[in-house]
Structures are given as C-alpha cells and as structure tokens.
Amino acid sequence: MSYIQQKALIVKKEELAQGIFRYTLKNSELVSLSRAGQFVHILCGEKTLRRPISICSIDKENGVFDIVFSAKGEGTHWMSGQNKGDEYDVLGPLGNGFDTDIKGRVLLIGGGIGVPPMLCVASEILAPCDAILGFGSKDAVILEKDFKAVCSNVHITTDDGSFGRKGLVTDLLSEIADRQKYSVIYACGPAPMLKAVAMIAEKNKIKCCVSLEERMGCGVGACLVCACKTKHGNIEQFSHVCKDGPVFNAQEVVW
Ligand SMILES: Cc1cc2nc3c(=O)[nH]c(=O)nc-3n(C[C@H](O)[C@H](O)[C@H](O)COP(=O)(O)OP(=O)(O)OC[C@H]3O[C@@H](n4cnc5c(N)ncnc54)[C@H](O)[C@@H]3O)c2cc1C
Ligand code: FES
C-alpha cells in the first residue's frame, strides 16, 4: 500500500444538497497514486481523529480529486467549515479499491452517501456500466448528471417516491439482475443494503464486491478499530476494513 501524508489545497467547494458537500482538492502526488474505491483520511482540526472519506473522482491531468461528504458530526462539520484556499491534512490514498479491469457489463449500486465512490468507479472502468442510485427523497439526490455522463443507464430510486422510482435499490436490482447479463455488481451504501445486494447477486450467480464502512482510527492497519468478520472457506477471521478493504468480495463477508 503506497500512501502519503500531505496538504491538499481546496480549489472548489459546492453544497450539492443540504449538508452534503463536494470539495475539489489539489495534490498531484496523491492523485497519481489513487484508484477508484480508495479513500483519504482527513485530519479534522486539532481535537479529533482523522475521518475517512472516499475518493469520488480523479483528474490526473490537473492533479485534483473530489470528495463528497455529509456533514453529520464533529469531524465532518469541521471539514465543511473549510473554504476555497484552505488546506486539509490528508493521508492517502488508503485501502484496496475496486478492480476496474473488467470484461463484460458492470452494475454499480450506491445508496445515500455510498453513491459518490461509485462515480469514481464509473469513470475509471473501461467496461460498459449501468447504475442504480438510491436516496431518501428528491432533496437528497446528488450526482445524477455526473453518472449520466459516464454510464449507459442510470436508475434513481427514492424511499418516498418523490423522485425516480419509489422503493429501495434492491427492489429494482431484483428485476434488472434477472433480465440483464452482468459480469459483476459493485456496491457501496448502508450495511443492510449491501447484505441484500449480496444475496440477490448470489441468487443470480453474479460476482459481487462491496465497499464496507467501519469507524476508523489509524486507517493503515495498526490499531484494529475497523475490524470486520470475514470468511475464507469455512474459516472465519477478522479483517481490517482500512487495509484489507474497504472493498471485499461479498461472499467473504460475514453479514
Ligand atoms: C472507507 C470509508 C469511506 C467513507 N466515505 C465517506 C464518504 O465518501 N462520504 C461521507 O460522507 N462519509 C464517508 N464515510 C463515513 C465518514 O467517515 C463518517 O461519516 C465520518 O467519519 C463521521 O465523522 P464525524 O466526526 O462527522 O461524525 P461523528 O461525530 O464521529 O459521528 C456522527 C455519526 O456518524 C456515525 N459514524 C461515524 N463514523 C462512521 C463510519 N465510519 N461509518 C458509518 N457511520 C459512522 C456515528 O456513529 C454517528 O452516528 C466513509 C467511511 C469509511 C470507513
Ligand atoms: S483503522 Fe486502524 S486498523 Fe483499521
């Protein structure tokens, strides 16, 4: 795992939906090392631990990358208080990322704040891809245009039906997975969604990889804060989400 700890300059800040921010950060060295599905660990002022945030897009030519985060607690509120011209202290890129060298058709599934990392996959992958993106309501829908620019088909679902199709991403997945031939499903979102996606993929015999979230300390495999249970054959063990993940083959995860 090759990562650096450096300052990243904030070159753009945008509020995509209430409390959801997109920041464009400049650091050519970090960008040159990054791949889809990896994350950066951001120092949030002096008091708190770093906070892990996924890379949402990578622009190698200009040495910039985007992150999108929800300001929900102390750390992310501190982050959202920073403006263009300020710098974040960033450790990264961390984690293993998604394999983007795929043959066949790929289905990307994102739920809520799990949507942004899938945009990076959609942009980096060479194979044709479709996306199912799920949100609570119309007000929370983000990145629709960005996905439409890089995916063949983009389906939006909302829990309350105020935009796109009413229901969960998994309702739509059950229909589509049955009809379409996908080589692989990649998903990021809340754990219950990922578990349901994994079950549907298994039923339809489609390979599935999921990006897991755990609270983190060090971000580099040294503190055990991010342990999650995985299985290899019949043997169960603990893996580190930060170092062994965050992307896991769904069949390895003990749900
Ligand atoms: C690999 C990885 C990638 C992530 N990518 C993104 C991203 O792209 N955008 C984004 O908005 N968030 C992302 N997260 C979640 C983000 O790290 C947490 O929301 C953030 O650390 C919360 O910090 P805080 O200080 O604002 O909130 P806190 O005050 O620490 O907590 C606020 C609330 O968030 C919950 N929470 C804290 N950490 C996590 C976590 N790791 N997973 C789930 N819930 C948590 C707490 O239980 C609490 O309910 C990612 C997490 C991981 C592990
Ligand atoms: S966060 Fe320290 S081991 Fe993963």
The neighbour count for residue 222, using CB atoms within 10 Å, is 11
Name residues contacting ligand 1 (CB within 6 A): 39, 51-54, 68-70, 72-76, 113, 116-117, 213-216, 246
Chain segment 35-45, per-residue pLDDT in tens = 999 999 999 98
> Which part of the chain has CATH 3.40.50.80?
98-211
Range list for CATH 2.10.240.10 in the chain = 214-255
Mean pLDDT of 61-77: 97
Which pLDDT score is estimated for 61?
Answer: 96
CATH class of 4-94: mainly beta
Q: Which CATH superfamily is domain 214-255 in?
A: Dihydroorotate dehydrogenase, electron transfer subunit (2.10.240.10)
Q: Which residues pair with 238 in a beta bridge?
A: 229
Instruction: Please tell me if the CB atom of residue 219 comes closer than 6 angstroms to any atom of ligand 2.
Output: yes
**Mean pLDDT across the chain:** 95
Q: Is the bond preceding 117 in cis, omega lying within 30 degrees of 0?
A: no
Confidence check: pLDDT of 248 > 80: yes
Closest CA to 197 of 126, 249, 155: 249
In angstroms, what is the span from residue 226 Cα to ligand 2's centroid?
5
For 179, the token pair is 């009809």
Give tens-digit pLDDT for 93-142. 999 999 999 989 999 999 999 999 999 999 999 899 999 999 999 999 99
pLDDT of residue 46: 79
Q: Give pLDDT, residue 196.
A: 97
Domain 98-211: CATH class, spelled out:
alpha beta
Ligand 2 centroid distance, CA of 228 (Å): 11
Residue 180, pLDDT score: 73
Q: Is the pLDDT of residue 181 over 90?
A: no
User: Which of 181, 238, 234 has its CA nearest to residue 214?
Assistant: 238
Average pLDDT over residues 239-245: 96
Q: What is the pLDDT of residue 167?
A: 96
pLDDT of 207 above 90: yes
CA 58 / ligand 2 centre spacing (Å): 24
Dist. CA 189–CA 168, nearest whole Å = 12
pLDDT at 62: 97
Percent of the chain having pLDDT more than 90? 92
Q: What is the pLDDT of residues 139-178, one digit of tens each?
A: 999 999 999 999 999 999 999 999 999 999 999 999 888 7
How far apart CA 123 and CA 249 sit, in angstroms, is 21
Q: What is the pTM of this model?
A: 0.96
Name the segment(s) of the chain with CATH classification 2.40.30.10.
Answer: 4-94
